[in-house]
Amino acid sequence: MFFSGHTEKVFQVAKKLTYSYITQPKQRDLFEVAFEGLKQDLSIEPFVPFIQIPLYTRLGMGGHEEEAYPIAALNTLLFLGIDIMDDLADGDLPLHWKHIKPADINLVAFTLLCALPQKILSDDFNKSLACKMAMHTALANGFMKMSAGQHQDLAMVQETPLASEGVLKSVIQKSGEELALFTKLGGLYHDLSSDQIGLLYDFGLHLGTAAQISSDCYDIFEASLSRDLANGARTLPLALHLEKLGTENKKSFLTLLNEVQKDPSLREVIKNELIERGSLRHAALMVEYYCQKANSTLSHMALNQNAKTLLKNVADHVSFFSK
């Protein structure tokens, strides 16, 4: 169980901030469903960079992790809203939403992304006007980039032919930019210099990219149910594999990807082929490449060594080769 210590305290701050503005009983009930789902995820997941990175950044400046709770809470609300929107778009909502109408779920996500962050930034953060404006701008720019990435991602479902370069670009824009937004908001909140904020942004961009590729591998090889295969998503491991194949083998594999949506047992055939052709290792090496790019920014950060070690541990959690 990982839902303890700083993670639990940040979660409680996020709920408190939310319920200071969400007052209607029915609306609160919907948010309680969202928070219960998030709590379940946080209880089993040690990798929570949207919380860890701003806390470790504050620690690295000689401060206390508790001083970063407000920005970590804001990141948590943003993460929750993005996660719900992503699930709605992919059509794979978790079970805790089973009895909730999609329109109500959409309103929860809308509020988490388009109302609560702006209210919290404006009314709850004791920061300068310039800092608040910079954070609002970061939110807008981040959402624009992530929207473009999500659009590409949705357009590539069952698309053929498929170029890994295009898939990677979508991963960077959608998932890399998401974590980059969280790290940039943390840097702005902590009043870091523009150079240091840029380094934090790069750390988040590279780590978010690595984490998504790792997640795509996990979905195919480890998850109890592969949502990507079931939904016809063309993730990077699959795109890398398709580029290795000749014309006839490519046609056969594309047929297999279509058939696995109806027959999940074919997943084993896909897994074996990705392993035998070296496509899994190729994807793992790409994860490592982006983890190393993230770690390379640490030497230039004006943080103490303890914080740099903690941030490196966050990146190493994603790597297939550092465990």
Residue 1: predicted pLDDT: 44
C-alpha span between 176 and 192 (Å, rounded): 21
- Tell me which amino acid residue 314 is: V
**Does residue 57 sit within a domain?**
yes
pLDDT(61) > 60: yes
pLDDT digits (tens, 9 = 90+) for 193-235: 999 999 999 999 999 999 999 999 999 999 999 999 998 888 9
pLDDT(143) > 80: yes
pLDDT digits (tens, 9 = 90+) for 235-261: 999 999 999 999 999 999 999 999 999
Domain boundary among 126, 141, 157: 126
pLDDT digits (tens, 9 = 90+) for 275-292: 999 999 999 999 999 999
Identify the CATH number of the domain in which residue 219 sits: 1.10.600.10
pTM: 0.94
- For residues 217 and 178, membership in a common domain is answered with yes
**Does residue 131 sit within a domain?**
no
**Does residue 142 sit within a domain?**
no
Domain encompassing residue 62: 1-126
Assess contact for 289 and 238: CB atoms under 8 A. Answer: no
- For residues 201 and 313, membership in a common domain is answered with yes
In the chain, count H helices and then E strands: 16, 0
**Does residue 213 sit within a domain?**
yes
Q: Which long-range contacts (CB under 8 A, 24 or more apart) does 197-201 make?
A: 199/297, 199/300, 199/301, 200/53, 200/57, 200/297, 200/301
**Does residue 133 sit within a domain?**
no
C-alpha span between 229 and 21 (Å, rounded): 39
How confident is residue 152, by pLDDT bands cut at 50, 70 and 90?
Answer: confident
pLDDT(174) > 90: yes
Assess contact for 199 and 293: CB atoms under 8 A. Answer: no
Domain boundary among 75, 92, 126: 126
- For residues 170 and 206, membership in a common domain is answered with yes
Assess contact for 162 and 250: CB atoms under 8 A. Answer: no
- For residues 182 and 121, membership in a common domain is answered with no
Residue 55: predicted pLDDT: 97
- For residues 223 and 79, membership in a common domain is answered with no
- For residues 118 and 161, membership in a common domain is answered with no
Give the chain's domain count.
2
- For residues 162 and 113, membership in a common domain is answered with no
Mean pLDDT of all residues in the chain? 94
**Does residue 84 sit within a domain?**
yes
- For residues 252 and 116, membership in a common domain is answered with no
- For residues 246 and 172, membership in a common domain is answered with yes
- Tell me which amino acid residue 290 is: Y
Q: What is the secondary structure of 13-50 as a DSSP string?
A: HHHHHHHTT--SHHHHHHHHHHHHHHHHHHHH----HH
Assess contact for 258 and 232: CB atoms under 8 A. Answer: yes
- For residues 189 and 321, membership in a common domain is answered with yes
Domain boundary among 60, 93, 126: 126
**Does residue 75 sit within a domain?**
yes
Q: What H or E segment, with its residue span, contains residue 184? A: helix 177-189
- For residues 119 and 188, membership in a common domain is answered with no
Q: Rg of the chain over CA atoms, in angstroms?
A: 20
- For residues 201 and 320, membership in a common domain is answered with yes
Tokens found for residue 3? 């839902």
Distances in Å between the Cα of 257 and the Cα atoms of 38, 129, 264, 282, 314 are 31, 52, 10, 19, 33
Tokens found for residue 144? 């624009």
- Tell me which amino acid residue 52 is: Q
